[in-house]
Structure formats: structure tokens, C-alpha cells
Structure 1
Amino acid sequence: MNNKPEIVDVIIKDEKQVAEVYFSIVEEKYYFVVYLDILPQVKIRFVGMSAGSRVYLTVSSNITSLKKLLEGINLIPLKTWQKGTQISKRIQNRCYEDSGFTIEYEDKKTGEVEDKIANLVSSLETSDLSHIVESEEIHKVVQVVYYGYKEQMWGIHLNPFILEKVAKLKASIDIDLYASGPDLE
């Protein structure tokens, strides 16, 4: 904005006394990040690129109704759809073949994928998902969309704690990776 850097997010890691300051990059979905030690005094620790990402749960079934799928869910779905309804006004004669919903715990694109997965599955613990988890007719997918800088793509580290929580949902994990950005000289 006005040729000045725009801070889009600041994440404080209390346990490490570190601040991550995220700056947007024009026409890109990844970020420039300045990592700062904030105690005992502020100093730069590292600078680099950080992927933008989304993490959400998709639940769908071609047998179970949307109403039944949503029973016991305490979170507001980001999107819902019903079997037999038109997919989009732009695409004529195309209808959903199943009913379902998506839940995204946080809609910000900054931050670590691992934290987003942990937050999503932890937020679901307050819902009664037994009818979803136990049904083989209901598909459960934790979806990760990762937008990285092509010259600095980091990995995704799924620790046993996260994997155990996803396994309790009997969900699969789908990771879509997108790399973009200019070539380095």
C-alpha cells in the first residue's frame, strides 16, 4: 500500500519469546517474514519466506443427508452443499453427487500448517462426531492448501500428537502444494 510494506500478521511464540512479523507480497499467496527475539531485547533472528496456507475439514456422503451430517457439530461450517442441488449458477446442469460441509477453524493464511491442523482437530473435540467418525459411508478429509515460494519451500511436519487426533477422526489428509514466485538471480 503506497509502496510501503504492509504487515498482515504478527504471531507471538510465548514459549520461545519470538515474534513472527508477516508482510504481504504483491500478487503472491506466500509471505516475507521477519523473525524477532523479543526478550530480553528486540533483535532480528532470521528473515525469509513463509508459505500461505489453509487447513479445513471436509465431510461428505452420497447416502447421509446434510442435516444428519451436521448433527452435534458446534462449529459453523464455512460451506455446505446438498446432494442434487446445482453446483453453481455458472455451470448449468451440474449437480452435487453428495451432501457435505467444510469447517475451517481459522481463516487467516499466515502461520504454520501444523498449528492449524492441531487447532482444527482440537476445536472439533467439543462436537459430537461419533455418527461421522464411525460411519464408513461418510468421507472425512483434512485438507491442506500450501502456497510456497518456489525457491524456499519448507516441509510440513506432522508430529504423533497431530496424527493421533486426525486418526481418531478416521480422516485422511490431503495436501495440495503450490509453488510460485520469481526466479532468483
Structure 2
Amino acid sequence: MVVNDLIQTAIEEIENQHWGVTKQFLEIHEVVYKDNKPKVENVKIDEEKGRAIVYFSIVGQKFYLAIYLDTKPAIAVSWIEIEPRYSIYFRATSEVLDYNELCAMTTLTPTNGWNKGDKRKFGELTYKFSCIEFLINGTPDEFKNKLEQLLDFLEQDKKGIIDLAHHANGYIQTIIIFHNGNTMLGGPMIDRKNITRISDLNLEINFDLYAEGKFYK
């Protein structure tokens, strides 16, 4: 399958707005353009299901215009979604243990972290706790995919993650940025299998929810 064909079909929907959802959304928001074309943030292809999703950036916003496509028997738009931005990562914090001591509890390599007393990235304040974080998928994607990819990663060192949950404040952090739209935000679902996987790691999951952007006319 040629990715360019998927992108071109999705762009044609943006330009011609055959779907009412596309027209309604583009009346209040704009797609980011680069080199005179809508900027594609990610393309996800599921060969088994014959489905693809093309994600587009929105000017001044953190959520995405997601165009769903059937790939069999021919490429065609099947659905339009205003996809929230999902940020799902593991975090362990401690006011007693330092960054290196937290790292020593697991064989996994953090993607971010700091020591108690380090200066924050913005402003003059300092951190009141040490922290390590593991962010596995930072690209636009569906909630379930991101959660499962994080769990796959954490399960590579189940003992270490359980130790971090027990000896430090180890948990899964989820930040979701919705489009205000018509105030019906919806939300993700965690199926039984993934609830069991989270429980087996002795983890909690925390949700921070935000709604941004303009309301529909």
C-alpha cells in the first residue's frame, strides 16, 4: 500500500469537504499547512482490518483532525474524527530517593526525569521531588494503542515497575486534550485485559482532562 495515496485521499477530503463533520469543523478551525499542503502528523495503517488513519495538525490547538480510511477493496474515506491528544506515560516520584536511585530500581531507561531541587524548565521554582518518566509513543494515535504499547514496555521489567510502585509513587499518567466542540467530549475505555495488566503491575492510572478550541456554530 502506498502511504502517499492514503494521504492524498485524506487531503482531498479536507479540500472538498464531502463529509459534514469536516465542513463543520473547518468552519471554526484551520488545518496547519506546510509547503502549501495540509501538514500530516501521522499515518496509522492496520493491514489486518483494512483501515488507516491520517492525522492533521490544527492551527493553535493540540487535538487533531483524524480522517479514517478503508484500504480494501479501494481507498476511501470511512469516517471523520476530531481526535484528542493522548499523552500516556509511566511516572515514578519520590521526595526521598534521588533520580539515580529511582533509575537503579529498573532495567528500563527513562525518557525524562529530574532530581529534587533541580530548577523547573519554566520560571524560577525548583522541583520538590525526584522523578523518572517513560513515554513510549509521542505521536498521534488512539488511546488503546498508546496504553498497550506502554504496558508492553513496562512488562519487560515487571519486578522493577512493581518496586517503583511500592517504594516510590509509581503510576500511569494520562493527559487528554479534547476539542470543546458541542461539549460532548466522550472518553477512552480500558478493557478487561488491560485492566488486568495494569493490576498485575500494581499500578494506578491517573487522568488529567482538558477541553480546548472553539465551539461548533
Q: What is the TM-score of this pair, normalised by structure 2?
A: 0.74
Q: Indicate how the Cα distance of structure 1 residues 5 and 98 shifts in structure 2: closer, same or farther if over 3 A, else same.
A: same
Mapping of residues 144-155 of structure 1, within 5 Å: 144-151=174-181, 153-155=185-187
Q: What is the deviation of 1:180?
A: 1.4
Counterpart AA for 2:78: R
Counterpart of 1:79? 112
Residue in structure 1 matched with residue 196 of structure 2 by the alignment: 164
Conservation of the 8 A alpha-carbon contact between 2:107 and 2:160: no
**Separation of aligned partners in 2, 1:86 and 1:42:** 50
1:173-184 paired onto structure 2 within 5 Å: 173-184=205-216
1:115 Cα deviation (Å)? 1.4
Q: Do structure 1's residue 100 and structure 2's residue 131 form an aligned pair?
A: yes
Offset, 1:88: 5.2
Aligned partners of 1:51, 1:131: CA distance in 2, in Å?
A: 31
Which residues of structure 1 form unaligned runs of 5+? Answer: none
Separation in 2 of the partners of 1:44 and 1:104? 31
Q: Tell me, in whole angstroms, the C-alpha distance in 2 between the residues paired with 1:176 and 1:125.
A: 24
Count, aligned residues:
181
Matches within 5 A, 1:30-179: 30-71=63-104, 73-87=106-120, 90-91=123-124, 94-108=125-139, 110-127=140-157, 129-130=158-159, 132-134=161-163, 136-151=166-181, 153-179=185-211
Counterpart CA distance in 1 for 2:130 and 2:145 is: 28
Distance 1:165 1:64 in 2: 27
Would you tell me which structure has more helix in proportion to its own residues? 2
Measure how far apart 1:73 and its partner are: 3.3
Instruction: Rate the CA distance shift 1:24–1:62 in 2: closer, same or farther, 3 A.
Output: same
Q: Distance in 1 between matches of 2:214 and 2:200?
A: 41
Greater CA deviation, 110-119 or 74-83?
74-83
Contact 2:103/2:109 (8 A) holds in 1: no
Query: What are the ranges of 5 or more consecutive residues in structure 2 without an aligned counterpart?
Result: 1-32
In 2, the alpha carbon distance for the partners of 1:51 and 1:62 equals 33
Q: TM-score, normalised by structure 1?
A: 0.86
Which residue in 2 is equivalent to 1:7?
A: 40
Counterpart-to-counterpart distance in 2, 1:84 and 1:145:
25
Q: State how far apart, in whole Å, the 2-side matches of 1:156 and 1:97 are.
A: 31
**Deviation at 1:131?**
5.0
How far 1:101 moved relative to its partner? 0.6
